[in-house]
């Protein structure tokens, strides 16, 4: 039975032993707010009226509107499907045949961040995979029955979603030449026999659409939107370099990598090296105990401590750290791989390392001293 929804009721999700999701109203001390109340009402109405497809609506629900922890968790996980679907090339052509993959890493992360909720003991990998299959079936069934475009269908759930366009940015390591990175913009053409889109360099679009400037502007719409926020892309468009292969410095590559969220926001997909994780590598000091045994045991025993500098998961020397600090913020090629360097964090870690090393050189450290310095793991 549908419950009335005063402002002090919160919609929560529970997992049943059979692996289904049950929505329930719970009393709360504070008001859920107007936006939260409206979204909860809509979710509950769809849950009752469309039990087989309400999760599809939840996947596109506004993430800026607060929900209960259990419902927020489901919205976040289902949102992976919505985002990956929206970023699928040739979505209009694929329509009901689209398939997106949720990685094992994403599933593991979801299980790790799951909140306390009724039925949490039934939360598992199989449960999350079943949700993804439900979302695929719901999307396929619904888009088959929808007479408009895929964009219109998705905008009926969330008007602010930007579907991926036909422009792709590629950045790879350049194994030859003086500049270590290469950039190329491509655009997708018709699907091949395997149902995959073909990509050709963007310069060929100038020839293809030379007699139809409106079509060229339509193709480049996502680029012009991104250029409003990205000086890098704005410069490439203005100079015409966007239509040619480019060799880049490490600093240019770093600028590009940090702006990927801008490009993707406007529907440009980026193909980049696997090592980029979207942030600079953390710098820290790790302390290990050497092999020299102490003369006695206890907090005042002098131990053979060995400080180590880490940049991400790479161990670096003091000399390497100083060399990295001598360059500006950006990418550095270290131990046969590229890492993103945050000079301030590296400087702090180096200072801590030097302080610890001075204490060791001065005559050794006790366990009590190490704990006071807050460097002992």
For the stretch 100-153, pLDDT in tens is 999 999 999 999 999 999 999 999 999 999 999 999 999 999 999 999 999 899
- Within 10 Å of residue 177's Cβ, how many Cβ atoms? 8
Say yes or no: 38 and 140 in one domain.
Answer: yes
Is residue 242 predicted with pLDDT exceeding 80?
yes
For the stretch 229-240, pLDDT in tens is 999 999 999 999
Cβ distance 221 to 297 under 8 Å? no
Instruction: Among 96, 126, 155, give the residue marking a domain's end.
Output: 155
pLDDT above 90 covers what percent of the chain?
A: 55
Q: Which residue has the tokens 């006790």?
A: 366
Q: Is residue 179 part of a domain?
A: yes
Band (377; pLDDT cuts 50, 70, 90): very low
Q: Is residue 308 part of a domain?
A: yes
Say yes or no: 150 and 15 in one domain.
Answer: yes
In the numeric block, which tokens belong to residue 373?
A: 């310095």
- Within 10 Å of residue 212's Cβ, how many Cβ atoms? 10
Instruction: Among 122, 155, 188, give the residue marking a domain's end.
Output: 155
Q: Which residue has the tokens 């329509």?
A: 95
Say yes or no: 146 and 44 in one domain.
Answer: yes
Looking at the 3D structure of the chain, how many domains does it have? 3
The beta strand positions in the chain, using DSSP E, are 9-15, 21-27, 167-173, 181-191, 197-201, 246-248, 269-271, 283-289, 302-303, 305-311, 314-316, 330-334, 337-341, 365-366
Of 269, 276, 352, 282, which Cα lies nearest the Cα of 310?
A: 282
- Domain span including residue 303: 283-372
List, as one string, the DSSP characters of 330-363.
EEEEETTEEEEE-HHHHHHHHHHHHHHHHHHHHH
Q: Which residue has the tokens 């707010």?
A: 33
pTM for the predicted model, two decimal places? 0.65
Of 74, 62, 63, which Cα lies nearest the Cα of 12?
A: 74
Q: Is residue 162 part of a domain?
A: no
């Amino acid at each position: 039975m549908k419950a009335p929804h005063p402002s002090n009721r919160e919609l929560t999700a529970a997992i049943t032993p059979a692996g289904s999701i049950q929505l329930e109203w719970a009393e709360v001390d504070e008001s859920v707010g107007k936006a939260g109340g409206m979204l909860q009402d809509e979710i509950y109405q769809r849950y009752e009226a469309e039990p087989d497809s309400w999760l599809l609506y939840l996947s596109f629900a506004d993430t800026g509107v607060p929900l209960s922890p259990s419902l927020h968790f489901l919205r976040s996980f289902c949102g992976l499907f919505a985002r990956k679907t929206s970023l699928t090339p040739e979505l209009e052509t694929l329509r009901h045949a689209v398939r997106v993959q949720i990685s094992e890493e994403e599933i593991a992360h979801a299980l790790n961040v799951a909140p306390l909720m009724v039925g949490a003991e039934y939360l598992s990998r199989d449960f999350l995979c079943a949700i993804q299959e439900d979302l695929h079936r719901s999307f396929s069934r619904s888009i088959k029955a929808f007479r408009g475009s895929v964009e219109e269908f998705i905008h009926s759930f969330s008007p602010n979603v930007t579907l991926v366009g036909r422009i792709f940015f590629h950045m790879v390591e350049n194994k030859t030449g003086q500049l270590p990175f290469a950039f190329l913009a491509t655009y997708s053409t018709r699907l091949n026999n395997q149902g995959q889109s073909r990509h050709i360099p963007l310069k060929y679009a100038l020839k293809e659409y030379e007699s139809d400037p409106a079509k060229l502007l339509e193709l480049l719409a996502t680029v012009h939107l991104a250029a409003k926020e990205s000086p890098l892309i704005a410069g490439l468009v203005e100079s015409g370099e966007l239509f040619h292969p480019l060799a880049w410095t490490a600093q240019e590559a770093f600028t590009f990598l940090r702006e990927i969220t801008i490009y993707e926001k406007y529907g440009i997909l980026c193909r980049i090296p696997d090592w980029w994780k979207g942030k600079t590598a953390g710098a820290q000091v790790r302390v290990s105990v050497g092999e020299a045994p102490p003369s006695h045991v206890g907090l005042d025993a002098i131990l053979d401590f060995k400080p180590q500098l880490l940049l991400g998961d790479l161990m670096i020397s003091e000399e390497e750290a100083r060399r990295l600090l001598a360059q500006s913020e950006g990418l550095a090629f270290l131990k046969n791989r590229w890492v993103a360097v945050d000079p301030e964090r590296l400087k702090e870690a180096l200072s801590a390392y030097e302080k610890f090393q001075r204490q060791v050189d001065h005559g050794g450290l006790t366990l009590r001293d190490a704990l006071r310095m807050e460097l002992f793991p």
